[in-house]
A and B are shown apart, each in its own frame.
Chain A
Amino acid sequence: MAIGTLPAARAHARLPWRARVSELLDKERVLGPLFITPALILIALLVAYPFCMALYFAMSNAFIGRPSHFVGLRNFINLWDADIFRQTFQNAFVFTGISVAFKLVLGISLALLLNQQLWFTRMIRGAVLLPWVIPTALSTLGWWWMFNSLYSVVHWTGINIGLMDPPGPNWLGQKYYAMAAVITVNIWRGLPFFAITILAGLVAIPKELYEAAESDGAGAWSRFWYVTLPMLKPVLAVVVLFSTIFTFSDFNIVYVLTHGGPINATHLFATYSRMIGLESGRIGEGAAISLYLFPLLVFVVWAQLRFVRKQAF
Chain B
Amino acid sequence: MRPVTRRQFLATTGTGLAGILATRTAPAVGQVREISYLCWNNFAPASDKKLSEIGQRFTKDTGIKLKIDHISHMGPQQAKYASEVQTQAGHDLVEMRMHFPWLYEPQLVDVSDVVAGLEKQYGKAISSAYEGAHVHGVWKAVPQYHGMFVCTYREDLFKKASLKVPDTWEELYTVGKELKKMGNPVGIPISQNYDSISTAGPVLWSFGGMEVDKDGKTVKINSDGTTQTIEWYKKMFKDCMEPEVLSWSDASNNESIQQGKAGWIHNPVSAYIIAKQRKLVTADGINHHRSLGGPKGRYETDTPRHIGIWKFSKNIEASKEWIKYLLGKKETYDEYIMSGDAFNLPVYAKLTDHPVLRTDPKYAALKGEGVEYHTYGWPAPPSDKVQLITNAYILPNMIAKAVTGTSTKDAIAWAETEMKKVMAG
Query: Which one of B14-22, B32-40, B330-338, B385-393 is at the interface?
Result: B385-393
Does B220 touch A at the CB level, under 8 Å?
A: no
- Give A276 to B421 CA distance when docked, in angstroms: 13
Query: Which one of B89-97, B123-131, B245-253, B298-306 is at the interface?
Result: B245-253
| B-to-A contact residues, CB < 8 Å | 75, 78-79, 81-82, 85-86, 103-104, 106-107, 191-193, 242-249, 252, 255-256, 259, 261, 384, 387-388, 391-393, 397, 400-401, 404, 414, 417-418, 421, 425
Shortest Cβ distance from residue B344 to the other chain A in the assembled complex, whole angstroms? 24
- Give A65 to B81 CA distance when docked, in angstroms: 10
On whether the beta carbons of B86 and A262 are closer than 8 Å, the reply is: no
Query: Which one of A9-17, A169-177, A237-245 is at the interface?
Result: A169-177
- Give A277 to B192 CA distance when docked, in angstroms: 17
- 9 pairs of A and B residues whose beta carbons are closest in the complex: A173-B247, A173-B246, A149-B244, A172-B247, A261-B192, A65-B107, A65-B85, A280-B388, A170-B243
Does A33 touch B at the CB level, under 8 Å?
A: no
On whether the beta carbons of A280 and B397 are closer than 8 Å, the reply is: no
Q: Residues of B contacting A178 with CB < 8 Å?
A: 247
Q: Residues of A contacting B245 with CB < 8 Å?
A: 173
Apart from the given pairs A66-B106, A83-B417, 8 other A-B contacts in the complex at a CB distance below 8 Å: A65-B104, A84-B392, A149-B252, A173-B245, A263-B192, A280-B103, A280-B388, A280-B392
- Give A262 to B400 CA distance when docked, in angstroms: 8
On whether the beta carbons of B82 and A262 are closer than 8 Å, the reply is: no
- Give A125 to B81 CA distance when docked, in angstroms: 43
Does A159 touch B at the CB level, under 8 Å?
A: no
Interface residues of chain B: helix, strand, loop or mixed (majority): helix
On whether the beta carbons of B391 and A149 are closer than 8 Å, the reply is: no
A-B contact list, 10 entries, CB within 8 Å: A64-B86, A83-B418, A149-B244, A171-B247, A259-B193, A261-B247, A275-B392, A278-B78, A279-B75, A281-B103
On whether the beta carbons of B82 and A150 are closer than 8 Å, the reply is: no
- Give A63 to B107 CA distance when docked, in angstroms: 12
Shortest Cβ distance from residue B412 to the other chain A in the assembled complex, whole angstroms? 14
On whether the beta carbons of A278 and B191 are closer than 8 Å, the reply is: no
Q: Residues of B contacting A28 with CB < 8 Å?
A: none
Shortest Cβ distance from residue A85 to the other chain B in the assembled complex, whole angstroms? 10
Q: Residues of B contacting A174 with CB < 8 Å?
A: 243, 246-247, 404
CB-CB nearest in chain B for A255? B75
Q: Residues of B contacting A278 with CB < 8 Å?
A: 78-79, 82
The listed residue (B78, B107, B401, B417) touching A263 by CB distance below 8 A is: B401
Does A78 touch B at the CB level, under 8 Å?
A: yes
Which of the listed residues A81, A263, A276 has the most CB atoms from chain B within 10 Å of its own CB? A263
On whether the beta carbons of B86 and A82 are closer than 8 Å, the reply is: no
On whether the beta carbons of A263 and B400 are closer than 8 Å, the reply is: yes
The listed residue (A64, A82, A264) touching B82 by CB distance below 8 A is: A64
CB-CB nearest in chain B for A81? B421
On whether the beta carbons of B256 and A150 are closer than 8 Å, the reply is: yes
Does A274 touch B at the CB level, under 8 Å?
A: yes
CB-CB nearest in chain A for B83? A278
CB-CB nearest in chain B for A286? B82
CB-CB nearest in chain B for A177? B247
